[in-house]
Every structure is written in structure tokens, then in C-alpha cells.
Amino acid sequence: MSNKPPELELPQADLFLNRELSLLEFNRRVLEQAKDASVPLLERLKFLCISSSNLDEFFEIRVAGLQQMAELNPMQRGADGMTPGETLAAISKRTHELVEEQYRVFNDEVIPALEQERIRFLRRSEWTPDQDAWLKTYFQNELMPVLSPIGLDPAHPFPRILNKSLNFIVQLSGKDAFGRNTGFAIVQAPRALPRLIQIPSEVAGTGPHDFVFLSSVIHAYVDDLFPGMEARGCYQFRLTRNSDLLVDEEEVKDLMEALEGELSQRQWGDIVRLEVAHNCPEGLWQYLMDVAQLTPADVYQVNGPVNLHRLMAIPDMVDRPELKYAPYTPRVPKALSGTDVFAAIRERDHLLHHPYDSFMPVVDFLRHAARDPKVLAIKQTLYRTGDKSAVVEALIEAARNGKEVTVVVELRARFDEEANIDLAEQLQDVGAHVVYGVVGYKTHAKMSLVVRREDTAPSAPGAAAGAGLRHYAHLGTGNYHPRTARLYTDYGLFTADPQICKDVHAVFLQLTSLGKVTKLHRLLQSPFTLAKAMHAKIDREIANARAGKPARIIAKMNALVEPEIIQALYRASQAGVRVDLIIRGMCCLRPGVPGLSEQIHVRSIVGRFLEHHRVNYFENGGDPELYLSSADWMERNLFRRVEVAFPVLDKKLRERVMAHLDAYLAGTAQSWVLQPDGSYQRPAAAGGDRKPVQLQFMEDG
């Protein structure tokens, strides 16, 4: 395909927004939630923590990858026309601004608001004598025994620093017992130590929720670690390392064994960022920068704890329900709450909209299958499941009950590799067949298939009834993860449609066996048919628009990056097709450009729940098609992963999803609209803002 739509010639940089900068814009929208006074206070603190955690992963994966690209192929340009070096320079500028804003929000907005609610982070200058005494005892009894300060001299070189760990560089004066006066030491804080210490309320002058940062305690009593010497300065710092795992899947004989070897090295990848206290003298942070082999662009001086994400513990430590989101209990659809879930699915398809609908029907589906003597086999994909997963427990029970259980475990789910290795071993121990998908392709499809022997109706008048096999499937846009199903928005479809179930079975055969690509009847699958089908459906909307027929595209997903899909949407806009995109995170399409994308509108929804479902709607000349999918429109999803998109065939269910999309497009309270320059603005509220769309779903279903 052409790099540019034929109808309009524009420079490459004008066609696509930079994906990394777009991702930083998403993190900026997350940070905006921490400023929003309508959000409960402790939830604002959580959003601040999430923005910090997101930025950590951004450096560990995206920045680390770009730095490698800059070394290997510095002149290679992306779809946006930028080289790796140019992108890194732009990232440094944006992230320094973002980090400065994070700490401004923390110091000037969140901390004062928490103090008004008697939730305090006590500075050393604010400690009462009784608090000082209690903290000194705590330091001597709980901290000193596990701290190992390392003096820097030829016999004690700079220590190896764990990824994202809390450390201190200490300036010393005086001589030690051996007459040494090197002047510097490093103190590493083990991860087992709490980063927040709550002072007991019985200590005089202490409120109900008074906390002290671990860094403040170490600063206060660091002299005790160096007897007879004086600590003239103590400054916290943190190093971020490349955390991507590199496994040559063509060479390894056992993927699990190879990953286990790589996991032990994850904490020691190349250093990509230095965070250091804002008051650290220039000579000291430059010394740390040189040791880490970084440049000033990689250094972030912060006015507060170097890891804001550790504050995520506060909401659990503070029992103040009025400062949190009101508890929400998801609905359990009545039709799926009975004792015969298979009869309910035989009768009609059922759609779950998480987290507004409970995830329990999915767990119950597998539990019923595990215990039903008529069930012969269960096939399941697992990408992320969480700890002590009820889904995994049901599969283990099924295997113990003699069912044929086949599980495709994606070992390479980023940052869940260790957990997935563990669950794979649990399943193997009870006799389940466990495979890791296809070499070179992550298995990201969300599918469950149950094979059940049932009595069948007579095939003709007078014929005898018999017994046959019937298939039941669940397909989803999100993971089989009960906890995130309460936090992420996703769809799940139960169906006994013979063609969909046959397709699901065919995909499982591809994942567990060998053979040619199987023709699918209902499902679209990457890396084979999904991208081609999306292009064909977009082209059909273009043809319909030119023929004067109804034409419209609505797509909701996490990220839109793939250049050829973006070009196809540009052509649709130029043909007069209205294109509405609801993109939570990265979007490289540039909307609203005259002559190119005037008919394309992009919005992002950020709220209590993480918008996660993927929906593709095509007007199709008045005969609408609607697909739910596990795939975003990214190169990796369309060409380097096993994904499925599945149609919603039931008209009522299709109308329900369309009502959801309409609500997303009409609301303004949680919405951000993408501008042609890549920035986002809140839309104007017409006639008074409506309630947030997620709240609508919580109340209305």
C-alpha cells in the first residue's frame, strides 16, 4: 500500500503523530484526574500514583527500546518521520515537564488536601520530641539491622543498583577506623522495608493518620550508620533499567526454561533514567549520572519521594470511605445465575459488560464445566490471570475430575512472565495439557471452549433421539482476570453458535498442533485475516459513501498505531465517511486536518475504570456489522500476535453495544478530544454537562 493517501500529498510528519509522545499525552490525562476536585481525594492520590507507575514502564520498555534503536540504526525514521534520537529528545522535554507537574500536584494540591483531612506526611522539621524518640527507636530496631552502607573506595566500588530501588548517596567528613576518608557512601534500602511508616496515634502529638517517609527516617539518623563520622548530606536516588526480556525463540528448545533464565536478569538491564532528590548538589548527581553512563537529558531531579507509586499503599492504610469511590457491586445477569448455565447459553447468546456486569458468570461457566459429568473437554487461553485465580482453580478441578483440559498459557505477557510460569506448572502437575502458543507470536486471544455430550432432538419425524457433542464458547476483549474485571471495561460473549464454536475450535487446533491456515466462518483472526478484513470493511464504507448509501465507522480500542489502517481511515474521511474513534491511549492518527481527516473525530475516556474493550462498527449500507475484539489496531496485534475478533450476531445485543458507543460519544465529563497537533482538550459541555459515562453505566446498565 502507498505511504500516503492518493487524494492528498502531505509531508510524512503531517500524516502521523509520534506514538511515544501520544502515550505521554495519555499519562498527562491520567495526571489530570489527580487534579480533579470532583474525584474523591484518596482516588486522586491513586491517579497520581498510576501516572508515576505508567512513567516507570514507559522508561523500562519504550525509552529503553528507543535507546537501543538509536545505537543500532540511528537514521531509521518511524511513520511520523522522526529518528530515534529526535524522538528521545522530544520525550526528554515532555517527561521533564510531566514529572515537574507530578510533583507540583503532589506538593501543592494533594498534600494540602490530605492535611485538611488529617492525613499527614510529617517532615523532619515537624517532628515533636516524642515522635523523634519513637522514630529513632524504630530506626535502630527495625532499619539499622538490615541496612548495609557501602563506602566508596578502590576496595568498595560503586555497588550494583537494583532496578527502581530506593538508594541514598551520603557525603561524609572525618576518618573511619582504618583511617579512610573517601567522602562518599551508598546506602541501599531493601525492598522488604516499608516506604511509609505510620506513627502510632498514642505517641504524643500524633494524629490518626500521620506518616513518615522511610527516606526521611534514614536522612534523620544516617549518622548512626557511620560511627565517628559526620554525614554532611544524604540524598535519595533511583535508577530505572531496561526491563524488556529478550529471548531468541527460534533458537531456544524450551521457552519456559529460557524465560526463567531471563527473569533473573530483568533487574539488571541497561540504565535508562536517574531520579535524584532536587536538593542533591550538582557534583553529586553528575557523579551518579557518569556512573550510570547517562546524559543530563536522562536525569530527573524531584521534590519529593523518588517513587510516588509507593503512595498507593495509603488508601489501604487509611480507613476513610468518604474519601474513596463508593463501593460498587457488579450486576449478575439473572439468566446466567441459574444452575444450568449451558441451557441458558443454548437458548440465546449472552453479553457481559464488565465491570458493570459481574465476572462471576465466567468463573461459574468453568466451574460448572469442571463438575458436569457430561463435559468431556475444556480449552482455554490465559494471558493474565492474577494471584490465586478462580479461573485457574476451576481448570485444575476439571483436570482432577478427568476432563480433557488444554490450556494455552502466554508465558511472555509482559511483567507477568513469572506468574504465568507458575500457573503453567500448577496446571501441568494435575495433568492438564499446557502449551505456550506459537513461536514468534504472542497468544493474546481471549477464548474458552467447552465440549459437552448431550441428548439431541430427532433429526426427522419418527427418527430416534441420539447423543452428540455440543460446543459452548466464551470470547472476550479482556483477560480472564477476576480482579481486573472489576477495574477494566471489557465485553464477554457466551455463545453456542455452531459456526463461532467451530471457529474457536479451529483456532485452538492452530495453537496446539500443526497444519495449514484454517478457513474461519465467523471469526477474524490475526495474523491471517483480521487486518485484511478491517481494510475490506473500511473500503466497503468508502464505496457506500460514494454511492450515496449510509456509511459510518465507529471504533473503540486502547491504541491506534498501525500506519496502513490509519491511511485507510484517511481515505474514508476523504470519501465522506464519518469516522468516530474512541481511543484510550496512543493514537497516531491526526484528526481534523483539512482535506485529509475532517470527518474523523477522536476522543479518549479517562475515569474510575480503565477503558479496555475493543469494538469495531461498520454501517454497511444500513445492514450494520459489529465486532468485538482482543486486538488493538497496532502492528503487533495485527501481524505478530494471535488475536480474534468476533461478531455480535444477536440484534438486541448489538443494539446494546451501540447504545454504549453512543453514550461514549455524547458524554463530556470524562472525555478528552484529540486535536490535530496531538494535544487533547476537554469538549465543551452543551447545556450543562451530563454525568460521567461510566457512572451512567453503573446506574443504568
Mean pLDDT per 10-residue section of the chain, whose length is 701 residues: 53 84 96 95 97 93 89 86 93 97 97 96 93 96 92 74 93 69 86 93 90 95 88 94 61 46 59 96 95 95 94 94 95 88 96 96 96 96 85 95 92 65 84 84 94 72 64 96 93 97 95 83 96 98 97 97 96 97 97 95 96 97 96 95 96 96 90 95 70 90 59
Residues 319 and 352 in one domain: no
Domain boundary among 520, 546, 573: 520
**What predicted TM-score, i.e. pTM, was given to this entire model?**
0.91
Look up 601 and say whether it is catalytic. Answer: no
Return the C-alpha cell found at 157: 566500588
Return the C-alpha cell found at 552: 459510518
Residues 315 and 415 in one domain: no
Nearest to 683 by CA among 577, 609, 603: 603
Provide the 8-state DSSP code for 608: S
Q: In terms of C-beta density within 10 A (0-12 exposed, 13-18 middle, 19 or more buried), how is residue 201 classed?
A: exposed
- Alpha-helical regions (H) of 160-213: none
Provide the 8-state DSSP code for 219: H
Instruction: Give the orientation angle of helix 255-263 with respect to helix 417-429, to 10 degrees.
Output: 140
pLDDT at 97 (0 to 100): 97
Return the C-alpha cell found at 21: 509522545
Query: Which helix H or strand E contains 423, and what residues bound it?
Result: helix 417-429
227 Rama sector, left if φ>0, alpha if ψ -120 to 50, beta otherwise = beta
Residues 170 and 315 in one domain: yes
Residues 534 and 555 in one domain: yes
Return the C-alpha cell found at 502: 467451530
pLDDT at 460 (0 to 100): 47
Q: How far apart are the first and last CA of the chain?
A: 42
Return the C-alpha cell found at 569: 481511515
pLDDT at 643 (0 to 100): 96
CATH number of the domain residue 413 falls in: 3.30.870.10
Residues 131 and 1 in one domain: yes
Residues 466 and 547 in one domain: no
Nearest to 106 by CA among 190, 213, 199, 240: 213
Nearest to 481 by CA among 399, 392, 557, 417: 392
Residues 75 and 88 in one domain: yes
Catalytic residue among 219, 354, 444, 481: 444
Output the DSSP codes for 14-65.
HHB--HHHHHHHHHHHHHHHHH-TTS-HHHHHHHHHHHHHHHHHIIIIIIHH
CATH number of the domain residue 11 falls in: 3.30.1840.10
Residues 179 and 45 in one domain: yes
pLDDT at 678 (0 to 100): 94
pLDDT at 263 (0 to 100): 47
Residues 514 and 531 in one domain: no
Radius of gyration of the chain (CA): 28
Residues 545 and 501 in one domain: no
pLDDT at 250 (0 to 100): 43
Domain boundary among 484, 500, 520: 520
Residues 456 and 596 in one domain: no
Residues 16 and 136 in one domain: yes
Check: CB of residue 674 under 8 Å from CB of residue 587: yes
Check: CB of residue 626 under 8 Å from CB of residue 647: yes
Query: Which helix H or strand E contains 168, and what residues bound it?
Result: strand 166-173
Q: Which domain holds residue 542?
A: 525-700
pLDDT at 520 (0 to 100): 94
Provide the 8-state DSSP code for 627: E
pLDDT at 255 (0 to 100): 46
Look at the chain and report how many structural domains it folds into: 3
d(Cα 165, Cα 152) in Å, to the nearest integer? 19
Domain boundary among 293, 325, 357: 325
Reduced 3-state DSSP string for 338-399: CCCHHHHHHHCCEEEEECCECCHHHHHHHHHHHHCCCEEEEEEEECCCCCCCHHHHHHHHHH
Q: Which residues pair with 609 in a beta bridge?
A: none
Q: Are strands 641-647 and 524-526 parallel, antiparallel or unpaired?
A: antiparallel
At position 111, the amino acid (one-letter code) is I
